[in-house]
Amino acid sequence: MRVFHVRGEQFTELDALPEALPAAGYLWVGAARREFEVQIATIQGRLATWTGGNLVDLHVSDLLNNQLPSHFDTTSGYDLLVFRRLAAGAGTTGSFIDDSQGTIASARQALEAIDTSPVGFAVFDRVLLTVHPTDCLVRDYFAARLQQQAQPGEARGGPRLPSSPADLMLRMVNHMVDSYLELRRLLTRQFTHLQNELFRPSGGFRNWQLLLESRNALHLLEDTCEDQRSALVEWIDALDEWPDEIEAAGRREREMLRLRSRDVVEHIERVLAHVRRLENSAETAVQMHFSAQSHRTNSIMRTLTVLTAIFLPLNLVTGFFGMNFDALPLIHSATGFWIAAGIMLVLGIGLSLFFWRKNYLGSRH
């Protein structure tokens, strides 16, 4: 568990949970899910001292639930946001290799490693409690980033530190949404490989299981993004229900929260649009694959039909001379065989030229 005190442009990490809230600024308490479960009694006691209330038991269960979808809830004392992240699992970035079998295995591992673990945010007036998965790097990333921004000379030229727990929560959520860019490259690369396999001229695509898993992964990401958007929209609606602030600074801060929230929703919608484009691309690739296979089958059947049509009169000629009669024309002539062979050759060449002119034996360019 890590505890930070944010005050103006000062960002300080504390050794432990303080007995009382600092006189100014706010606290950020970031804990892994297992740490939060073990120290829940201590955290609840500190929250009661700091804010006069603590987390509802149902919300504690939500923060400990690793399968909970993104959602938002509010109480009179705090707001609760559970937000599922979109990230590629460890060791999947750049895991594609050149050989086909290795690429297929790596793609399947990448699909199985897509991480959508939830991150919980309990937003009080002066306290932000975040509950992360054990391997989540969001907390450490933001701790290092805010410490760097708090360095002398950084605040003037760079972004300001978050002014409130809600502001910090929205920045972390926005970072988790933007982390989809890495996963997007991974999925795009994987679907490009599958499409190339589908469009091979020789056909024979066999990786239907991987294609099905890829489509299921896209459906999962689409559902995750829709839940994320719904949670953020409910958060924006809750902002409108906040009591009006008397001070102009309070009104400006709430307006900035609305602005940042709408920006996060826009990013989620862009991610959702990209996921849907990949889904449509996959559906189109499958349809084009079957269309190409149908066209290839039709071409083969057309060629076989033409060959049958060419050899049909030749079979008729050979069948005619194969009849068991003694008075057949040319049957006793020394040149009869060559005459019949010439007739058959002329018929074969003539029919071949006819079908070729009709474009039945191939495409003319």
Identify the CATH number of the domain in which residue 344 sits.
1.20.58.340
In this structure, the answer to whether residues 211 and 341 fall within a common structural domain is no
Q: Which of 293, 317, 341 is the last residue of a domain?
A: 293
The CATH number covering residue 106 comes to 3.30.460.20
Dig out the tokens for 227 from the structure.
């839940």
In this predicted structure, what is the pLDDT of residue 271? 84
In this structure, the answer to whether residues 66 and 120 fall within a common structural domain is yes
Q: How many residues does the chain have?
A: 365
In this predicted structure, what is the pLDDT of residue 120? 93
Of 41-45, 73-77, 226-230, 243-247, the one with minimum mean pLDDT is 243-247
Give me the helices (H) in the chain, please: 33-38, 40-51, 57-64, 100-112, 138-149, 154-157, 165-178, 180-198, 208-240, 248-321, 336-357
* Domain assignment of residue 363, yes or no: no
In this predicted structure, what is the pLDDT of residue 94? 44
CA distance 120 to 31: 10
In this structure, the answer to whether residues 276 and 321 fall within a common structural domain is no
* C-alpha distance across the termini of the chain, in Å: 71
Residue holding tokens 């005050």?
Answer: 7
In this structure, the answer to whether residues 55 and 196 fall within a common structural domain is yes
Dig out the tokens for 280 from the structure.
């449509």
pLDDT-derived band at 29, boundaries 50, 70, 90: very high
In this structure, the answer to whether residues 310 and 278 fall within a common structural domain is no
> With 90 as the cut, is the pLDDT of residue 146 above it?
no
Q: Model-level pTM? A: 0.72
In this predicted structure, what is the pLDDT of residue 109? 57
pLDDT-derived band at 202, boundaries 50, 70, 90: low
Residue 304 belongs to domain spanning? 299-357
Residue 17 contacts residue 43 (beta carbons within 8 Å): yes
In this structure, the answer to whether residues 220 and 273 fall within a common structural domain is yes
Q: Work out the angle at residue 41's Cα, subtended by the Cα atoms of residues 38 and 42, and round it to the nearest 5 degrees.
A: 95
> With 80 as the cut, is the pLDDT of residue 123 above it?
yes
CA distance 12 to 3: 9
In this structure, the answer to whether residues 105 and 178 fall within a common structural domain is yes
In this predicted structure, what is the pLDDT of residue 98? 41
> With 50 as the cut, is the pLDDT of residue 121 above it?
yes
In this structure, the answer to whether residues 268 and 307 fall within a common structural domain is no
In this structure, the answer to whether residues 306 and 256 fall within a common structural domain is no
Per-residue CA distances from 332 to 99, 321, 325, 327 (Å): 66, 11, 11, 9
Residue 311 amino acid letter = F
Proportion of the chain above pLDDT 90, given as a percent: 17
The DSSP call for residue 236 is: H
Residues 248-296 have pLDDT tens digits of 556 777 888 888 889 889 988 888 888 888 888 888 878 887 787 788 7
In this structure, the answer to whether residues 142 and 202 fall within a common structural domain is yes
In this predicted structure, what is the pLDDT of residue 129? 94
Phi, psi of 132 (to 5 degrees): -115, 160
The DSSP call for residue 246 is: S
Residue holding tokens 């809230």?
Answer: 21
Residue 57 contacts residue 83 (beta carbons within 8 Å): no
Beta-bridge partner residues of 123: 79, 128
Q: Which of 278, 293, 308 is the last residue of a domain?
A: 293
pLDDT-derived band at 38, boundaries 50, 70, 90: very high
The full DSSP string for 289-317 is HHHHHHHHHHHHHHHHHHHHHHHHHHHHH
Q: 283 vs 45, which has greater pLDDT? A: 45
Mean pLDDT (the chain, rounded): 81
Q: 268 vs 214, which has greater pLDDT? A: 268
* Domain assignment of residue 49, yes or no: yes
* Domain assignment of residue 266, yes or no: yes
* Domain assignment of residue 7, yes or no: yes
Q: Strand, helix or coil at 331?
A: coil
Q: Which of 293, 309, 327 is the last residue of a domain?
A: 293
pLDDT-derived band at 72, boundaries 50, 70, 90: very high
Dig out the tokens for 349 from the structure.
């060449």
In this structure, the answer to whether residues 345 and 283 fall within a common structural domain is no
Beta-bridge partner residues of 87: 115
Question: Torsion-angle region of residue 88: left (phi > 0), alpha (psi -120 to 50) or beta?
Answer: beta
